[in-house]
């Protein structure tokens, strides 16, 4: 029996200067191989309370992605072959030639070893081996036949969910149980930098007899912000130039920098140096967004006011030009009461005040079943039950965000403009609990509020004067306890007075 062959054995220390860069190295895969395994270790895994984070991605000869492992474990093993792949990676043949192993260095804290000590080993095998990892996945066909032409209705969905294909601590079966328990009409699987969970989730939902649609996508996990690419099949390159930097002109050759000049890795006695280069991403975040949109997808800025480096590397949104190209902004991420959501809402209001017509979304960002599902919000879309229709609704703002109660525009219809002759605005409410109020916001100012009855009602707001073109309105449903802090329960997207 032929045995595995080591094609790379390396070790050294990644210095703090290596953080927020991608180091790449190529390995020569001989002909006739049927399996490939990469093993990465690093230590220390954390310094005081801050976690170091190094993740792996693989590219085959020619540059096609074979997946990414955005995992936080300090030992990571990736295995791929004709009919199997570690979650996050793409099963298939192992072509010979120069493969690229990429280390995304998200965070390296200063430490008494000068950073993090790492080892990286790659081996190949002419015969498929029995997988070491317990997370075997069979390769499967792609594609999903969605029903079409069905009349629109309000569809409840979660636009932001992770699985064990990246750093989720739950698998596909648990997500199916969540979709059932939350009565989700659609769910977007948005693993970090990989799309490989999409098809297994579709198949598992189908096998469970659920009609929940899967919005294919991934969370573009950069060092300067996270964004969801929604409604595209397959992989998308997340690597961009840093915020504020210009696109790199590649016309004069490959700008990758040999590490020898960069001093980002140190080598001690006994280490085996790896010939790394620093990956130079070519495009801006705008170019990344335009590429997603060119494939028919949506580009949604996620949790823009989350904590940043080093507490949550890349989580804070730093690309200030985003309102010019974002399709939507996730203002409600996970637990609605979090400070970062207040700050995200304030950022969105600044975009609106500047005249950008960018709608908002909500998502659980669940990495495991939510412990307090009543605090997590959903995006309700006025759409037919097919992916394209839901994508259109999110893009147009034909949506509302809610932790439970229904709150939808009655006039004008969600996602459309306010006709200049409309005498009043109105919203339809359902499932409202005691102690709630509706708040009408106009151009960022609270202009009217009143208590609303429990259950179902329609609330109208007469327009006393004709608003000028570009004026926008939004309605919030707020729970106002007798004692304590008011809590946002639901929010429409804005409607604008037509120009």
Q: Which is nearer to Zn ion, 157 or 405 (CB)?
A: 157
Piece of the chain touching Zn ion by CB under 5 A; list 98-106, 113-121, 226-234, 402-410: 226-234
3-state SS, residue 445: strand
Contact by Cβ (8 Å): 94, 27: no
Q: Which is nearer to Zn ion, 79 or 158 (CB)?
A: 158
Piece of the chain touching Zn ion by CB under 5 A; list 206-214, 265-273, 360-368, 416-424: 360-368
What does the block give as tokens for 163?
């699985």
Query: Rounded distance, CA 426 to CA 458, Å?
Result: 7
What does the block give as tokens for 463?
């327009």
Contact by Cβ (8 Å): 157, 399: no
Q: Which is nearer to Zn ion, 192 or 395 (CB)?
A: 192
Q: Which residues pair with 13 in a beta bridge?
A: 117, 266
Q: Which is nearer to Zn ion, 216 or 494 (CB)?
A: 216
Query: Rounded distance, CA 392 to CA 387, Å?
Result: 9
Size of the site for Zn ion (CB under 5 A): 4
What does the block give as tokens for 136?
């075997």
What does the block give as tokens for 334?
């996970």
Query: In the bound complex, what is the minimum distance in angstroms from residue 140's beta carbon to Zn ion?
Result: 24
Q: Which is nearer to Zn ion, 363 or 397 (CB)?
A: 363
DSSP-based helix, strand, coil % in the chain, nearest 5 = 15, 40, 50
Query: In the bound complex, what is the minimum distance in angstroms from residue 88's beta carbon to Zn ion?
Result: 14
Piece of the chain touching Zn ion by CB under 5 A; list 13-21, 50-58, 358-366, 368-376: 358-366
Contact by Cβ (8 Å): 102, 81: no
Query: In the bound complex, what is the minimum distance in angstroms from residue 162's beta carbon to Zn ion?
Result: 6
Query: Rounded distance, CA 124 to CA 135, Å?
Result: 19
Contact by Cβ (8 Å): 107, 313: yes
Query: In the bound complex, what is the minimum distance in angstroms from residue 194's beta carbon to Zn ion?
Result: 12
Query: In the bound complex, what is the minimum distance in angstroms from residue 367's beta carbon to Zn ion?
Result: 8
Neighbours of 172 (CB within 10 A): 21
Piece of the chain touching Zn ion by CB under 5 A; list 20-28, 338-346, 357-365, 408-416: 357-365
C-beta nearest to Zn ion: residue? 226
CA atoms within 13 A on the CB side of 203: 12
Contact by Cβ (8 Å): 461, 471: no
Q: Which is nearer to Zn ion, 301 or 429 (CB)?
A: 301
Query: In the stretch 236-275, what mask flags binding to Zn ion with x, by CB under 5 A?
Result: ----------------------------------------
Query: In the bound complex, what is the minimum distance in angstroms from residue 15's beta carbon to Zn ion?
Result: 26
Query: In the bound complex, what is the minimum distance in angstroms from residue 163's beta carbon to Zn ion?
Result: 11
The residues in 289-308 that bind Zn ion, with binding defined as CB under 5 A, are 302
The residues in 71-100 that bind Zn ion, with binding defined as CB under 5 A, are none
Place of tokens 């096609």: 64
Query: In the bound complex, what is the minimum distance in angstroms from residue 457's beta carbon to Zn ion?
Result: 35
Place of tokens 């085959």: 60
Query: In the bound complex, what is the minimum distance in angstroms from residue 285's beta carbon to Zn ion?
Result: 14
Q: At what angle do helices 198-207 and 172-181 cross, to 10 degrees?
A: 60
Query: In the stretch 99-138, what mask flags binding to Zn ion with x, by CB under 5 A?
Result: ----------------------------------------
Which residues have CB under 8 Å from 261's CB, separation 6+?
A: none
Query: In the bound complex, what is the minimum distance in angstroms from residue 445's beta carbon to Zn ion?
Result: 31
Query: In the bound complex, what is the minimum distance in angstroms from residue 319's beta carbon to Zn ion?
Result: 14
Q: Which is nearer to Zn ion, 73 or 456 (CB)?
A: 73
Piece of the chain touching Zn ion by CB under 5 A; list 31-39, 208-216, 225-233, 489-497: 225-233
Pairing relation of β-strands 35-43 and 298-301? unpaired
Q: Which is nearer to Zn ion, 74 or 363 (CB)?
A: 363
365 binds Zn ion (CB under 5 A): yes
Which residues have CB under 8 Å from 471's CB, separation 6+?
A: 418, 442, 443, 496, 497
Q: Which is nearer to Zn ion, 41 or 306 (CB)?
A: 306
66 binds Zn ion (CB under 5 A): no
Which of 39, 226, 403, 474 lies at the binding interface for Zn ion (CB under 5 A)? 226
Query: Rounded distance, CA 190 to CA 15, Å?
Result: 30
Query: Rounded distance, CA 157 to CA 391, Å?
Result: 12
Q: Which is nearer to Zn ion, 124 or 322 (CB)?
A: 322
Neighbours of 460 (CB within 10 A): 11
Q: Which is nearer to Zn ion, 87 or 415 (CB)?
A: 87
Query: Rounded distance, CA 480 to CA 489, Å?
Result: 10
Query: Rounded distance, CA 334 to CA 115, Å?
Result: 32
Q: Which helix (H) or strand (E) holds 87?
A: none
Query: Rounded distance, CA 327 to CA 160, Å?
Result: 15
Query: In the bound complex, what is the minimum distance in angstroms from residue 160's beta carbon to Zn ion?
Result: 6
Q: Which is nearer to Zn ion, 7 or 50 (CB)?
A: 50
Query: In the bound complex, what is the minimum distance in angstroms from residue 247's beta carbon to Zn ion?
Result: 24
The residues in 181-220 that bind Zn ion, with binding defined as CB under 5 A, are 219
Q: Which is nearer to Zn ion, 162 or 279 (CB)?
A: 162
Piece of the chain touching Zn ion by CB under 5 A; list 9-17, 222-230, 337-345, 369-377: 222-230
Residues found near Zn ion in the complex (CB under 5 A): 219, 226, 302, 365
């Amino acid at each position: 029996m032929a045995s595995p062959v080591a094609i790379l054995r390396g070790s050294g220390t990644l210095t703090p200067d290596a953080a927020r860069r991608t180091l790449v190295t190529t390995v020569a895969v001989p002909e006739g191989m049927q399996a490939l395994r990469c093993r990465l270790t690093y230590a220390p895994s954390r310094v005081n309370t801050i976690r170091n984070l190094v993740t792996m991605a693989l590219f085959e000869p020619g540059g096609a992605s074979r997946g990414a492992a955005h995992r936080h474990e300090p030992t990571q093993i990736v295995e791929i072959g004709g009919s199997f792949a570690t979650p996050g990676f793409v099963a298939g043949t192992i072509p010979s030639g120069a493969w690229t192993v990429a280390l995304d260095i998200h965070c390296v804290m200063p430490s008494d070893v000068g950073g993090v000590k790492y080892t990286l080993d790659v081996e190949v095998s002419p015969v498929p081996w029995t997988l070491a990892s317990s997370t075997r996945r069979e390769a499967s066909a792609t594609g999903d036949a969605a029903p079409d032409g069905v009349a629109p209705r309000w569809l409840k969905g979660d636009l932001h969910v992770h699985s064990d294909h990246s750093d989720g601590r739950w698998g596909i079966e648990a997500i199916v149980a969540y979709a059932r328990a939350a009565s989700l009409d659609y769910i977007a699987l948005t693993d970090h930098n990989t799309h490989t969970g999409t098809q297994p989730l579709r198949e598992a939902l189908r096998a469970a007899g659920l009609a929940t649609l899967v919005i294919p996508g991934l969370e573009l996990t950069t060092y300067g912000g996270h964004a969801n690419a929604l409604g595209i099949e397959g992989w998308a390159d997340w690597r961009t130039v840093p915020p504020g930097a210009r696109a790199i002109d590649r016309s004069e050759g490959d700008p990758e920098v040999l590490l020898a000049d960069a001093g980002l890795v140190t080598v001690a006695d006994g280490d085996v140096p790896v010939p790394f280069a620093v990956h130079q991403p070519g495009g801006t975040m705008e170019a990344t967004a335009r590429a997603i949109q060119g494939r028919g997808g949506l580009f949604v800025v996620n949790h823009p006011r989350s904590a940043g480096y080093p507490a949550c590397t890349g989580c804070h949104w730093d690309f200030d030009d985003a309102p010019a190209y974002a399709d939507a902004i996730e203002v409600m991420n996970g637990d609605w009461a979090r400070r970062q959501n207040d700050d995200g809402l304030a950022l969105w209001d600044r975009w609106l005040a500047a005249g950008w017509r960018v709608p908002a979304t909500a998502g659980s960002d669940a990495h495991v079943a939510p412990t307090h599902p009543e605090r997590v919000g959903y995006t309700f879309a006025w759409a037919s039950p097919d992916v394209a229709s839901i994508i259109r609704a999110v893009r147009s703002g034909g949506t509302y965000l809610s932790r439970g109660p229904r709150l939808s525009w009655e006039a004008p219809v969600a996602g459309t403009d306010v006709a200049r002759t409309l005498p009043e605005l109105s919203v339809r409410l359902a499932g409202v609990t005691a102690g709630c109020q509706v708040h009408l916001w106009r151009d960022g100012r609270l202009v009217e509020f009143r208590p609303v009855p429990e259950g179902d009602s329609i609330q109208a707001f007469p327009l006393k004067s004709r608003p000028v073109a570009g004026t926008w309105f939004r309605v919030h449903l707020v729970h106002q306890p007798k004692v304590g802090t008011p809590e946002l329960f639901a929010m429409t997207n804005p409607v604008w007075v037509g120009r």
